[in-house]
Each structure stands twice: as C-alpha cells, then as structure tokens.
Amino acid sequence: MKNNILKAHLALLGANIIYGANYLIAKGVMPNKIGPSAFIFLRIVGAGILFWLIKLFIKEKIDNRDFLRLIFCGLLGVAANQLLFFHGLNLTSPIDASIIITAIPIVVLFFSALILKEKITKNKLIGITIGGIGAVLLIWYGNKAVGTSSLLGNLLIFLNACSYGLYLVIVKPLMKKYNSLTVISWVFLFGFAFMLPFGLPDILQTDFSAFTTHTYIAVTFVIVATTFLAYLFNIYALNYVAPSVNGSYVYLQPAVSFIMVSIYAYGLGNTEYAQDINLIKILSCLLVIFGVYLISKTQK
C-alpha cells in the first residue's frame, strides 16, 4: 500500500511538472506557428483518439440520463476550458497564467457551496477572500505591467479557472458512478463537438509547411504529455490519495513556471520574459497559495 501511495505522489509530481512546463512550451509556438484555436483542435483530437483507444478495452454502458451531464462536462471541462486557456496564454505571461490557475480550488469551493450546498467554514471564507484578492491583483496588474502581461489574457485565464472549477463539481457524481477513463473519453468526444466550429477554420488556415522540428516537438508534448499523460497520472493518483492532496500539487505549477521562465530569460539570454518576474507577481502568488492553504486546511 505504501508503495502505491509513493507511486501516486510521483504521478502527481510528474503531472504538475508537465503542467508547469506547458505554459512556456505552448506559449513558444503561439501565435507565430499556430493559432490558439488550431492548437486546441490538435490537442483535443490527438488526446481524444488516445483515450478512445484505451476505452475500447473498457466495456461500460452510460445511462441515458447521464448524457446531458456529460455534454455539459464536455462544454466546460474541454471546449470552454481549453479555448479560454490557450487564447489567454497567447495574450499574457506564462507566469501570470500559472499563478491564476492556482485559484481553481477556490472556484471549486464556491461552486460546491452554490450547487452541492457544501458548508463554507470560517477558514474557507477567509481563504476565498485572500486568494481572490491575489487573483484580482494579478489580473488588474496585467493592464499596467511591462513585459508580456495582459489584462485580457489574465481575465481569460481566470474565466478558464472558473470553467474548469465548475466542471470538477458537476463531473464528480459521474466519476463515482463510472470508470474514470469512460467518463473522460465521452467528455473529450462532446468537447470536440463544441470546439469544432472554432478550431476547424483555424486548422484549415494553418501553414504546416512553416513548422520546424521545435514546433512539432512542442505540439506533440502538449498532446501526449500535457493532455493524455497528465490526465492518466491524475486518474491513477486519485485511486490512492485524497482529492485534497491531488489539488495541493497545483501549487507546484507557478514554481515550475518561474524556474523555466528564469532559465529561458537569464540562462539562455532570451529577454522576452525577463520583465515578467517582479514583486507584485510574487506577492499575488503568495496570496493565492495562502488562500488555498486556508481552504484545504481541516478546521478543528
């Protein structure tokens, strides 16, 4: 059992390192090589095919009454989530995006209280307030900051966090009822249907002849690692550790993003993101993390 728990933590570590690296890797090919909507098209199609290949070995029937919930999960957890994230990342700093994403547990708590009627304790209320201040500070600062920060980009990333947070709440009953891979496969299928009107025109206009080896590596990383493997790692970990433990690993993402951007800016001499690391962003990050810590802390 202890060995399985260790593997679960290693899986979570791997998933969140992948997520943290994704901010800079995906940003590096947008929009010069591929537009956000076209990138999302490739991501959902590629990962969706991989999920359904595994799903072929899982014989499980979905009740008709659950398809409506799956459709909403596809809209929120795949189409809206990824469209908002990639368009936001295209406009703003990788560091800003990685900090704002850590607000997801706050969003989940809000929707859990609103929809599932879960009780909000004093600690959680204080946590929501502090974390919210950090997120708002960073979004507002994007309108005045130097570097690659952007008010609109930060706002889209925050809306992405809201979309994904609501998805986590409404998908919860399905994850308890069915195999996780069955749920994810259907969610990606319905997400593809919602994404198609946005992604198809962009993918048809993409100049694949301009792709370099670096571009193909980045796109492959996002499809195979960020989408497919990270989902599988999280599913595996949830079999052995609590969801709260799973959620706590999101704090790694800003740290990984900070490290990668620092290496990119100072170690490799690329000054594009050099001004994206400053005191305001570090303060915003600390506020969000402390807020989420209060939310996840068990009240006596």
pLDDT at 64: 92
Walk along the chain (300 residues) and give the pLDDT tens digit of each residue: 677 788 888 888 888 889 888 888 888 788 788 988 999 999 999 999 999 999 988 889 899 999 999 999 999 989 998 999 888 988 887 877 877 887 777 777 778 778 777 677 777 677 777 777 776 776 666 555 555 677 888 899 989 988 988 888 888 788 888 988 899 999 999 999 999 999 999 999 999 888 999 899 999 999 999 989 988 888 777 777 766 566 667 767 777 777 777 776 666 666 665 566 667 767 777 777 777 667 656 544
* In contact, 156 and 88? CB cutoff 8 Å: yes
Q: Which long-range contacts (CB under 8 A, 24 or more apart) does 122-127 make?
A: 122/299, 123/294, 123/295, 123/297, 123/299, 124/294, 124/295, 124/299, 126/291, 126/294, 127/290, 127/291, 127/292, 127/293, 127/294, 127/295, 127/297
Beta strands in the chain (DSSP E): none
* In contact, 23 and 218? CB cutoff 8 Å: no
pLDDT at 223: 92
* In contact, 181 and 54? CB cutoff 8 Å: yes
- The angle formed by the CA atoms of residues 39, 193 and 67, to the nearest 5 degrees, is 135
Q: Which two tokens stand for residue 123?
A: 């600690």
pLDDT at 141: 65
- For 94, phi then psi, to 5°, come to -60, -35
Kindly report the number of other CB atoms within 10 A of residue 52's CB atom: 15
Q: How far apart are CA 154 and CA 140, in angstroms?
A: 8
Q: How far apart are CA 138 and CA 146, in angstroms?
A: 13
